[in-house]
A and B are shown apart, each in its own frame.
Chain A
Amino acid sequence: MRFFADQLILGLTDGAIFALIALGYTMVYGIIELINFAHGDIFTVGGFIGLTLIGILGLQHAPPALLIPGVILVFLVAMSLNGLLGVAIERVAYRPLRNAPRLAPLITAVGISFILEGILFLLKGPNQISYPNLLPGGSLNLGFASIGVGNIFIILIALGLMIALNQFIQRTRVGRAMRATAQDRDAARLMGININRTIGITFFIGSALAAAGGIIYGFDYQTIDFSLGFRNGLVAFTAAVFGGIGNVVGAALGGFIIGIIIDFVGGYFQGGQQWSDVVVFSILILVLVFRPTGLLGMRVPEK
């Protein structure tokens, strides 16, 4: 029972990170039908921006009273900067190809992914870099299980961001514009929606959430390296497809489920860790075979 609970908490923590990345994939796919391959690397860049800010502010040695506003500041600044990076990438690499054959932006996205990885590689080198964990330590003992306070914080931060996002999409004017653009770009344009701006905002939000995921990843694993984005991006994409691509709630749900699956496979099977990725990618293929619309997705006719 204790072991089960431990794995479940681990899975939910990993799942929170995957879900934050998956939201970016699903939003971008929903609005311009592009698999943004660079998104995994945008996540890594966000983590590195967070690390740099922590270093600049000297938060590892900050007194507890300054720590909380400091961490909030790190999140806000890193998310904004990463959001702008996402907007810039869309502007330079995807917008010019919006009416090109489908293959073109997809290949460009792979290229952007390599460029981001290459820049991180040049700046930060190939080795793992240690990341300070600024979340409170200790654990809550519930009798049948003990839960790390840090893990609770991670899950709460992620859930908070997801709820905020959902409210934003459902309740605000910009959110409505995003939904309209996703549904029918031409009709939305005729209704006076600024398509380019709406797509830009989508990239901004997706990349900002990825930055939050990157910082949380750093706190959780206390290490970061240039190539994180490839594997985590692929897993998060699986989560997005699993939940139903284009569906924000589905991506969050898919993220948590995939996180739990990974940690259960890794925890319960002998040598399971080296197979857990194989299991995840097999799930991806199986979902696409048997239920390509995912858990919550709807069938969309080909345009």
Chain B
Amino acid sequence: MSQRSGPPAAAGARKPSHFGALGRARYIPYLLLGVGLLLFPILDGNRSQVDVAAFAGVWVLLALGLNIVVGYAGLLDLGYAAFFAIGSYAFAILASGQFNIHISFWFLLFASAFIAAIFGVLLGAPTLRLRGDYLAIVTLGFGEIVPRVFRNASVFTGGVNGIVGVDQPKLPAVFGWSGNFGFNPIPYYYLILGVIVLSLFLINNLRNSRLGRAWMAIREDEVAAAATGINTVTTKLLAFALGASFSGFAGTYYASKLFIVSPESFSFQAVSVVVLVMVVLGGMGSMRGVIVGALLIYFIQSYVLIQLPGWIVSATDALNIDFLTKLDIGSYVQRSNFLIFGIILAGIMLLRPQGLLPSAQRKVELEGGTSDEAVADLRGTA
């Protein structure tokens, strides 16, 4: 029996790997990675790289959250940016000079996750009773409404200009460090790293819990899941709300790190699709995959796409071919964000639906189809 053939077999097969040299060796790369991540800001004197890493963490967190919704529960959430915006604005309004309210960052970090979750429940409760693809369109609509409301309700949110001068976290002073985060990226980096590690533990335990297994049952066949006694509405709602709370949590961190919130940063193209691309590219339902997907897309967006036009211009200039310079390839590359994301989404779904680093279980389903369980079983044991 292989691990793929089902949960009982998988549990049985996995147990021995915790013992013995081979089992322990499995963790060595992760251990090295952890040490590397901890030492990175100390070894790397370049503050701007630490800064980039701290922002990349936001996207990892968003991708992990969306993975619960899309990857585990199989619900397509196209308005993930809305909860991100809600978290950001909740923090920016309650901790800035806008109304001269300055509530603690640490409290609001959790409060805005909670607020986002409430919005998730309000939106999800009526729609999750419907068929899955309605959720996609309702969340898309919601994702459009929320930034517009923030833009239009300028009395509270500063309108198009947004809110500038958002508070930054403070800790008690230790070891000669004042405890003020300010514009120093290093404490932000450690904060997000810690949050991500905690999230990984949390999500991993959730996935293997009764709730997590119920999510996957619903993803595979909702009618059958309901027939086995799972309350599908509550279960889907929990996934949706939990995903939303991750987004709200990330939003608070993002607002304080960026020092400013503005409605333009929460559009469909800027957030919702980007996070979806991260999840799909990495592999829906696979935490490893999703993290790699998030980092890869973030790297492409914030470095490759920005540098590439320059590289191409210097390459065409160096070659000194008039024809190439006139074509102005650089400007095309800069504009090709849409195209690249589209090709990734459609291409992955058509050619490698399980993503770059799939979870073993998801791979079987996507390749074998869910309509005929026997096929999946045969493939798993073959």
Which residues of A are interface residues toward B (Cβ below 8 A)? 33-35, 92-93, 96-97, 99-108, 110-119, 121-122, 125-126, 230-231, 234, 237-238, 241, 271, 274-275, 277-278, 281-282, 284-285, 288-289, 292, 302
The 3 closest A-B pairs by CB, nearest first: A118-B339, A111-B345, A114-B342
Question: Quick check: B127 and A289 within 8 Å, CB to CB?
Answer: yes
B7-15, B48-56, B303-311, B362-370: which lies at the interface: B362-370
Q: Shortest Cβ distance from A42 into chain B, in angstroms?
A: 14
Question: Quick check: A115 and B346 within 8 Å, CB to CB?
Answer: yes
In Å, the complex CA distance between A92 and B371 comes to 22
Question: Quick check: B346 and A277 within 8 Å, CB to CB?
Answer: no
Question: Quick check: A234 and B141 within 8 Å, CB to CB?
Answer: yes
Contacts beyond the supplied A101-B365, A288-B138, A302-B223: 14 A-B pairs with Cβ under 8 Å? A101-B219, A103-B132, A108-B345, A108-B346, A111-B341, A111-B342, A112-B342, A118-B336, A118-B338, A118-B341, A274-B151, A278-B152, A284-B137, A288-B134
Sample of 16 A–B contacts (CB below 8 Å): A34-B133, A96-B350, A106-B136, A110-B78, A110-B273, A111-B343, A112-B346, A114-B273, A115-B343, A115-B346, A118-B340, A122-B332, A230-B268, A274-B152, A275-B148, A275-B152
What 1/0 flags go to B133-152 for Cβ under 8 Å of A?
Answer: 11011101110110011011
| Residue among A35, A110, A119, A274 having the largest count of chain B Cβ atoms under 10 Å | A110
In Å, the complex CA distance between A274 and B149 comes to 9
Question: Quick check: B346 and A285 within 8 Å, CB to CB?
Answer: no
In Å, the complex CA distance between A106 and B347 comes to 13
Question: Quick check: A107 and B349 within 8 Å, CB to CB?
Answer: yes
Question: Quick check: A278 and B336 within 8 Å, CB to CB?
Answer: no
- The residues of A that contact B346 with a CB separation of less than 8 Å are 93, 108, 111-112, 115
Contact A97-B350, Cβ < 8 Å, known A108-B345, A115-B342, A282-B145: yes
In Å, the complex CA distance between A66 and B346 comes to 43
- The residues of A that contact B126 with a CB separation of less than 8 Å are 285, 288-289
Chain B contacts with A in 216-257, Cβ cutoff 8 A: 219-220, 222-223
User: Which A residue's beta carbon lies closest to that of B78?
Assistant: A110
Q: Shortest Cβ distance from B332 into chain A, in angstroms?
A: 6
- The residues of A that contact B131 with a CB separation of less than 8 Å are 302
Which residues of B are interface residues toward A (Cβ below 8 A)? 70, 74, 76, 78, 123, 126-127, 130-134, 136-138, 140-142, 144-145, 148-149, 151-152, 219-220, 222-223, 268, 273, 276, 280, 284, 332, 335-347, 349-350, 353, 365-366, 369-371
- The residues of B that contact A34 with a CB separation of less than 8 Å are 133
Contact A104-B366, Cβ < 8 Å, known A35-B133, A93-B350: yes
Counted as pairs of residues, one from A and one from B, with CB atoms less than 8 Å apart, the total is: 142
User: Which B residue's beta carbon lies closest to that of A126?
Assistant: B335
- The residues of A that contact B219 with a CB separation of less than 8 Å are 101
Question: Quick check: B141 and A292 within 8 Å, CB to CB?
Answer: no
Partner of A284, one of B132, B133, B138, B343: B138
- The residues of A that contact B136 with a CB separation of less than 8 Å are 35, 106
- The residues of B that contact A110 with a CB separation of less than 8 Å are 78, 273, 276, 345
Question: Quick check: B335 and A122 within 8 Å, CB to CB?
Answer: yes
Q: Shortest Cβ distance from A84 into chain B, in angstroms?
A: 19
Partner of A281, one of B141, B338, B350: B141
In Å, the complex CA distance between A101 and B335 comes to 33
User: Which A residue's beta carbon lies closest to that of B353?
Assistant: A104
Question: Quick check: B369 and A99 within 8 Å, CB to CB?
Answer: yes
Question: Quick check: A102 and B133 within 8 Å, CB to CB?
Answer: yes
In Å, the complex CA distance between A278 and B82 comes to 13
Question: Quick check: B141 and A238 within 8 Å, CB to CB?
Answer: yes
In Å, the complex CA distance between A119 and B152 comes to 31
- The residues of B that contact A292 with a CB separation of less than 8 Å are 130, 134
Q: Shortest Cβ distance from A279 into chain B, in angstroms?
A: 9
| Residue among A99, A112, A114 having the largest count of chain B Cβ atoms under 10 Å | A114
User: Which B residue's beta carbon lies closest to that of A92?
Assistant: B350
In Å, the complex CA distance between A111 and B341 comes to 7
In Å, the complex CA distance between A114 and B133 comes to 19
User: Which A residue's beta carbon lies closest to that of B134?
Assistant: A288
Partner of A101, one of B130, B341, B366: B366
Contact A114-B350, Cβ < 8 Å, known A99-B371, A107-B76: no
- The residues of A that contact B74 with a CB separation of less than 8 Å are 101-103
Partner of B342, one of A101, A118, A289: A118
Partner of A117, one of B70, B130, B342: B342
In Å, the complex CA distance between A92 and B343 comes to 13
In Å, the complex CA distance between A230 and B338 comes to 13
- The residues of B that contact A103 with a CB separation of less than 8 Å are 70, 74, 76, 132, 284
Q: Shortest Cβ distance from A208 into chain B, in angstroms?
A: 23
- The residues of A that contact B332 with a CB separation of less than 8 Å are 122
Q: Shortest Cβ distance from B157 into chain A, in angstroms?
A: 13
Question: Quick check: B70 and A111 within 8 Å, CB to CB?
Answer: no
Question: Quick check: A285 and B76 within 8 Å, CB to CB?
Answer: no
In Å, the complex CA distance between A302 and B276 comes to 27
